Amino acid sequence: MTETLIGLVSRYSPSGQEQEAAEWLTARMQALGFDQAFVDAAGNAVGVMGNGTRQVVLLGHIDTVPGEISTRVETSSSEEGGVLYGRGAVDAKGPLACFVDAAAQVGRRAGWQMVVIGAVEEERNSAGARFIVERYQPEFVVVGEPNRWDRVALGYKGAAYVDVIVRRPQTHTASGRQTAAEAAVQAWLEVKAFVEAFNAEKPHIFDHLLPTLCELESGGDGFEQWARIRLGVRLPVEMPPDDWYARLSAMIPEADVQQTGYAIPAWVGEKNHRLTRAFLSAIRSQGGAPSFVHKTGTCDVNIVAPAWQCPALVYGPGDSALDHTPNEHISLDEYRRAVNVLSFALKELTR
């Protein structure tokens, strides 16, 4: 059951370099009996099991952050079956391989089509997910991210990034006037003060604004100074991106606030629908005590769930605390449990 996982993790595929891994995965899906397996125009690896008119989409991502880790299996006294080390073992080739193996295990279901997608560039701007939203119309979507085999994620924060640029006339350092660099730092302090006040009465971190100072640079030409800071923020449901941009502009009116990249609103799914119930039953079938989680990160569910307007959740094996870390690894026993959970859930959904 772990051949798909180990083979996929062995193909290093940071964002923008996914082709080899995508080609390997489609060949693997063909070998496992998928009716179709191909690399689409965006570079996504796609496998289709079944020919029915009703769709379940299992959306993972095949790219990783940079930083190759030697792929190896190590035995562990605390982990039955060993532990797999490698970039993407957790985020998020573990969940993607789980999707492939579970769909293969379930096989064809009358009237249904299971579509497994290994999307590209999730760690950048979600180009793969943006490509597919107009090409599929599922009744259910499961997005693959690591949340452990016995948990279901029903919330992900939004995200927005801006460049804040300030300019000042060139002055002598003895003048006592504020420099562009000082003004940029002051802008960051204004943002921090606003965020602290916003978060003060909210006990749950999922409802907080979570800002990050990503970059800081300054310069000048002898006549004018400039400074630029790049600010990222994880957004709660209460603060859509447009509201955040408006608040920023009001907070720091002397600065030029420029949006960068794609803004993504927060997403929260429903607990009481057929998809969630199928997963709760599936986790219990494997001896687990299921639970729900809301995450402070952002993933492709933020893009596809609002577009498809169907029941959605996020599932996958692995400890998200290991995302992007130098010792990224996954328990092979947990992986097997997750495959069995997903197989059970898919059978329930496609009855």
Residues marked as catalytic: 63, 122
Distance from C-alpha of 34 to C-alpha of 48, rounded to nearest angstrom: 6
Distance from C-alpha of 334 to C-alpha of 327, rounded to nearest angstrom: 17
Reduce the DSSP state of residue 49 to 3 states and report it: strand
> Is 83 within 8 Å of 12 (Cβ atoms)?
no
Report the alpha-carbon angle 256-259-261, nearest 5.
150
> Is 89 within 8 Å of 11 (Cβ atoms)?
no
Distance from C-alpha of 204 to C-alpha of 346, rounded to nearest angstrom: 32
> Is 251 within 8 Å of 192 (Cβ atoms)?
no
Nearest-CA neighbor of 138 among 106, 107, 114?
A: 114
Residues, the chain, total?
351
Look up residue 288 and give its two tokens: 């687990």
Buried b vs exposed e over 292-303: b needs ≥16 C-beta within 10 Å?
eebbeebbbbbb
Identity of residue 335: Y
Report the alpha-carbon angle 91-92-97, nearest 5.
145
> Is 137 within 8 Å of 308 (Cβ atoms)?
yes
Distance from C-alpha of 12 to C-alpha of 328, rounded to nearest angstrom: 13
Distance from C-alpha of 4 to C-alpha of 334, rounded to nearest angstrom: 15
Look up residue 342 and give its two tokens: 């997903």
By the 10 Å C-beta count (0-12 exposed, 13-18 middle, 19+ buried), 65 is classed as middle
> Is 312 within 8 Å of 140 (Cβ atoms)?
yes
Identity of residue 106: V
